[in-house]
Amino acid sequence: MERILNLSTYHAKQAVYRGINTNLNINRDNSRNLLVKDNNNEYLNKNNLSLIKNTNLNLERLWQYNCYLTHNRNVSCLCWNEQNHDLLAVGYGKFQYNDDKEGLVCCWSAKNPEFPERYYQTDAGVTSLSFSLKRPNLLAVKRFEYDKKHTSPVWQIAWYERDRSSEINNIETLISISSDGRITQWILRKEFEATDIMRLKPYQSSQTACQILKTNDETNSNEYFSNFVGGLCFDIRLNDKTIYLCGTDEGPIHRCSTIYNEKYLESYIGHTAPVYKVHWSPFAENIFLSASADWTVRLWMIGYNRSSMIFSSSNSKIFFDAIWSPKSSTMFCCVSENTIEIWDLSKSTLDPICIANSTNQRTLTSIAYATDSDCVLVGTSDGAVWIYHLENFSSSANANDLITIVQQSLLSQLDSLEKTDIHREASLTSTQSNLIGND
């Protein structure tokens, strides 16, 4: 009965969500609490989002997932079911050490935006969720608490599809990353069995002299606290499941392998604060994105340990999340505290094509693209998940578009470095000539 009533209420909006052409009025909500920048950089209070640049793209809010259960709970993570693309799992929790508030998991469906299909209350805040790829009825949940393996909070978990030739019968296992510096693989037999596949060590150039000249008399506990850094996020490569990226609380990003845990394959240096998100491009296999507390989102390319492109926050705020578009190779979305930014690198590498600010200063904590529609979902600190439709969205899935933009940026950086080196050599030659003349 509840679904029938909601179908009548949300019929037009659900048609827009599913990409069905309709002339029905979707009854745009006048209380969406967003400020929008126009082309003159003046804030406007509109029902839909206008753009900074001259483009036809708009953001139109359809509905929000929210009920009395989620009121004033922080949305910590979003996760789609791999087989039922209407089913969204949302984790709620606050992670301050003096906050003992319980956590919550809600499974929302587009067929019933008013109340979750199922919900599960937890003893502690939820830090991460992940639906099984092979068994969609399984949902892995990690709470803000320690366990027998990890000695610090686990910030992300994800199902990992092992090679079928593996000796282990379970093709699918879990991977977790924690502030204790461990990246751990969990194998489900009679119970979970844990094995560390990587211990995160400080990037070598950032080690202090005291760390390098450590004496053999130090205790194991002292070595532990000085030799390992915390991990906050990771992402497994799409076309090679043995390769993954991990972001650390010190800023460096590392490319690692599940079959080689002695050292990093490559490190990427640029962020100066904790990295909260890393995400491989779904189109260009050697390009990835990162979001950090240093107010920047950065774009990287395998083979170069410096960022190819840097995108700064328009309001000098921390970036909590960033994600590539699944339909356009040059587009990504990110959230920085109370701001949503949409970037399209084919249109501009200097400014986002759309900026939207929340008027009530609620924090925007997470963002995700809908699986089968041109929509984005934004989680907030007050327990709501907003669903926005990308109106007039034009997709371009050509990976070469992104690769060309990145290569041009790298060539520009190399030219700048060459000019700097030439200037230094000229200055050095001039200084040497002056010294010889004085002699």
Q: Show the low-confidence residues of the chain (pLDDT under 70).
A: 1-8, 21-55, 95-100, 147-148, 163-170, 205-226, 314, 418-439
Give the separation between CA 120 and CA 335, rounded to whole angstroms. 27
Cα dihedral 48→106→183→101 (10° resolution): 100
pLDDT at position 256? 95
* Structural domain count of the chain: 1
What b/e string do you get for 318-346 counting C-beta neighbours within 10 Å, with b at 16 or more? bbbbbbbbebbbbbbbbbbbbbbbbbbbb
- The tokens of 403 are what? 């690769």
pLDDT at position 255? 96
Q: Specify the CATH number for the domain of residue 396.
A: 2.130.10.10
The C-alpha angle 142, 148, 151, rounded to 5 degrees, equals: 80
Give the separation between CA 185 and CA 176, rounded to whole angstroms. 7
* pTM exceeds 0.95, yes or no: no
Could you tell me the residue range of the domain that residue 110 belongs to?
2-438
Give the separation between CA 361 and CA 56, rounded to whole angstroms. 27
What b/e string do you get for 169-208 counting C-beta neighbours within 10 Å, with b at 16 or more? eeeebbbbbbbbbbbbbbbeeeeeeeeebbbbebbeeeee
pLDDT at position 133? 87
pLDDT tens per residue, range 110-147: 889 999 999 999 998 999 999 998 889 999 999 887 76
Cα dihedral 94→95→100→104 (10° resolution): 40
Backbone angles phi, psi at 21, to 5 degrees: -65, 130
| 318 contacts 337 by C-beta, under 8 angstroms | yes
Residue with tokens 């094995």: 195
pLDDT at position 426? 52
Give the separation between CA 164 and CA 43, rounded to whole angstroms. 55
Please state, in angstroms and as integers, the Cα–Cα distance from residue 312 to each residue in 43, 184, 294, 298, 309, following that order. Answer: 20, 33, 9, 9, 10
pLDDT at position 96? 62
pLDDT at position 38? 40
pLDDT at position 438? 53
Give the separation between CA 66 and CA 283, rounded to whole angstroms. 33
